[in-house]
Amino acid sequence: MDLTFYIALLILLLALWYCRTLRRSPSLGNAKTIPGPKGFGCLKSFIASSRNNNSHELATEWAQQYGDLVQVNILSQKIVYINDSRLARVIFNHPSLKEMTNDRPDTFLSKYVIYGNKNMAFTSRTDQQKVRRKLYHGVVKFYGENVRKFERIFMTSLNKLTREMQSLNEVNFSHEISMATLRVVDALLAGEESNCTKEHLEALENFDTTLSELFYFDMEAVLKPLPFLRFVPGLPFKTKYDALIKARDDLVNAYFHRLKETYIKGQERGVIDHLLTAQSKLEEEGDVESLCDDSVKALLCETTIASFLTTAHTVNTLVLLLILHPELQEKLHSEVKSVIGNETPSLRHRSSMPYTESSIIEALRYASAGPFLLPHSCREDVEMNGYLIEKGAILLANAWYCHRRSDQWEEPWTFKPDRFLDDNGQLLQADHPKRLNLIIFGSGSRSCPGEAFARSRMFLIVVTLIQNFEFFALDNVKLPDVDPRNWESKAVRAPGQFKCGIRPRTEIHLP
């Protein structure tokens, strides 16, 4: 794109900024303004860091300089960084604040790709959004912890992976884990008889990869104020937008239309069928809006976005760390051997495996794949610790910093699963001060509804792999950098793809 375009764009944005600044005069009352950097230098570094996808590093510098709450003003948009997990929990959860702090900012992506205000994850907390979230949460939680049937489907898919890997000496681990995770997402959406084909997996994967292209700063920053650019031939916005809409429609055809055609009430196969049943119940009660077809399509897109890369990247990170720390891999294996032995791994083993659980929690902390979780926005002026958070401000919980604060974490850049164990080797309770320093899945009414599902699936993946294989570095193949500060940043931050050696454990544990 040529320079003239960027100059024209900058002038337009500055004009918008000037008009909005004149219109607004915030009512500060007695509350103080949140500290933070100001002026053109701040704007310049914000734009540069956003373009390089490392705004978490800039936000971390500001956190160290200004404290737990930092505010910047970018073209009259206030952004408030929350740099402490407990404080984030109070802001998102406190009864006097939670109605104000759990909206989402408007985005191009939500409005023009994920069915506008009919979606759930990217839209503000309207009454209809609350209905959607409650129904969705109920369905996904059901698949998370309680369902033996789903565990069986999942273990069948994992055993297939284990069988394929047995004949190999080396494996493209990242690819295999992506495929296994996609099969889990497919089974979640479509159920046991999904007849998952290569085309279905491609539809899920393509949607996620084309979407990462629009997550880039340039795209959202330009397309939100100037959405018509998505139609202008010759501009990259149009090419990327067209590709994303095609990927979204392929996904909707593969999962929504296909499943709706064969849906039978009372014989629900997966999440989409359960949502269709909920839809017909709401319609009988006279509510045709809260869960209309577009909302079910949006939930399909959101589940794909939320569940695939997050899970695959966490398992990748953990296995990469175990390859680099063979002593930790052996420790994990000895727990698997003593608790599961030759049995098929099951969720009932979980409570007796504190080392495995703490390794997964530590991998989630270590990677902090979504540095700012998802953005919230503030509905009304609120006061917090004597500071004013203004109506319309974007609230970003800086998990990247919260999970590495040197005053809260010993050796924050080191992978240490033991940090979540007590002196008896038991997992620290969820309300232990150390665990309260974590904010991996968010908190409160916008927290991750897939947490139980994600954690239980990761447990099954990890124990099955460790039960059957030893993973090691290959002499001639370089492993990716394991330091999260050097990872490439896309929609979620993750180490690059990697190949590694595998050695089947002497006893193989397939049913």
Smallest gap from residue 279 Cβ to ligand HEM (A): 17
Smallest gap from residue 310 Cβ to ligand HEM (A): 4
Q: Are the beta carbons of 336 and 356 closer than 8 angstroms?
A: yes
Separation CA 403–CA 410 (nearest Å): 11
354 binds ligand HEM (CB under 6 A): no
377 binds ligand HEM (CB under 6 A): no
Nearer to ligand HEM (CB atom), residue 222 or residue 358: 358
Smallest gap from residue 366 Cβ to ligand HEM (A): 12
Smallest gap from residue 483 Cβ to ligand HEM (A): 19
Q: Which residues pair with 470 in a beta bridge?
A: 503
Separation CA 455–CA 471 (nearest Å): 22
Q: What is the CA radius of gyration of the chain?
A: 23
133 binds ligand HEM (CB under 6 A): yes
CA 452, chain centre distance (Å):
14
Nearer to ligand HEM (CB atom), residue 222 or residue 492: 492
User: Helix or strand or coil: residue 27?
Assistant: coil
368 binds ligand HEM (CB under 6 A): no
316 binds ligand HEM (CB under 6 A): no
Nearer to ligand HEM (CB atom), residue 132 or residue 416: 132
501 binds ligand HEM (CB under 6 A): no
Among 37, 370, 371, 501, indicate the residue that binds ligand HEM (CB under 6 A).
Answer: 370
Among positions 100-129, residues that touch ligand HEM (CB under 6 A) are 120-121
Strands (E), 166-245: 170-172
Nearer to ligand HEM (CB atom), residue 139 or residue 155: 139
Among 210, 295, 311, 317, indicate the residue that binds ligand HEM (CB under 6 A).
Answer: 311
> 453: which residues sit within 8 A by CB, 6+ positions away?
140, 141, 143, 144, 188, 307
In this structure, how many other beta carbons lie within 10 angstroms of the beta carbon of residue 221?
A: 18
Q: Name the token pair of 452.
A: 């139980």
Separation CA 463–CA 347 (nearest Å): 10
180 binds ligand HEM (CB under 6 A): no
Stretch in the footprint of ligand HEM (CB under 6 A) among 157-165, 218-226, 367-375, 380-388: 367-375
Smallest gap from residue 265 Cβ to ligand HEM (A): 23
Separation CA 276–CA 135 (nearest Å): 11
Smallest gap from residue 214 Cβ to ligand HEM (A): 18
Query: Would you say 448 is a known binding-site residue?
Result: yes
Nearer to ligand HEM (CB atom), residue 270 or residue 354: 270
Separation CA 362–CA 383 (nearest Å): 33
Phi/psi of residue 185, nearest 5 degrees: -65, -40
Nearer to ligand HEM (CB atom), residue 73 or residue 311: 311
Q: Name the token pair of 497.
A: 């793809």
Nearer to ligand HEM (CB atom), residue 237 or residue 366: 366
Q: Residue count at the site for ligand HEM (CB under 6 A)?
A: 24
Distances (CA, A) of 371 to 45, 239, 310, 351, 473: 18, 28, 12, 29, 28
Separation CA 24–CA 40 (nearest Å): 20
297 binds ligand HEM (CB under 6 A): no
Among 37, 371, 449, 484, indicate the residue that binds ligand HEM (CB under 6 A).
Answer: 449
Among 345, 354, 417, 442, indicate the residue that binds ligand HEM (CB under 6 A).
Answer: 442
Residue closest to ligand HEM (Cβ): 450
Stretch in the footprint of ligand HEM (CB under 6 A) among 50-58, 145-153, 219-227, 440-448: 440-448
Tell me the angle at which helices 198-214 and 173-190 cross, rounded to the nearest 10 degrees.
Answer: 100
Separation CA 300–CA 271 (nearest Å): 9
363 binds ligand HEM (CB under 6 A): no
- Per-residue binder mask for ligand HEM (CB under 6 A), 140-159, x = binder: x-------------------
Using CB atoms within 10 A of its CB, is residue 40 exposed (0-12), middle (13-18) or buried (19+)?
A: exposed
Separation CA 378–CA 387 (nearest Å): 14
Q: Are the beta carbons of 470 and 503 closer than 8 angstroms?
A: yes
Binding-site members for heme are 448
State the residues that interact with ligand HEM by CB under 6 A: 120-121, 133, 140, 302-303, 306-307, 310-311, 314, 370, 373-374, 440-442, 446-450, 453-454
Binding-site members are 448
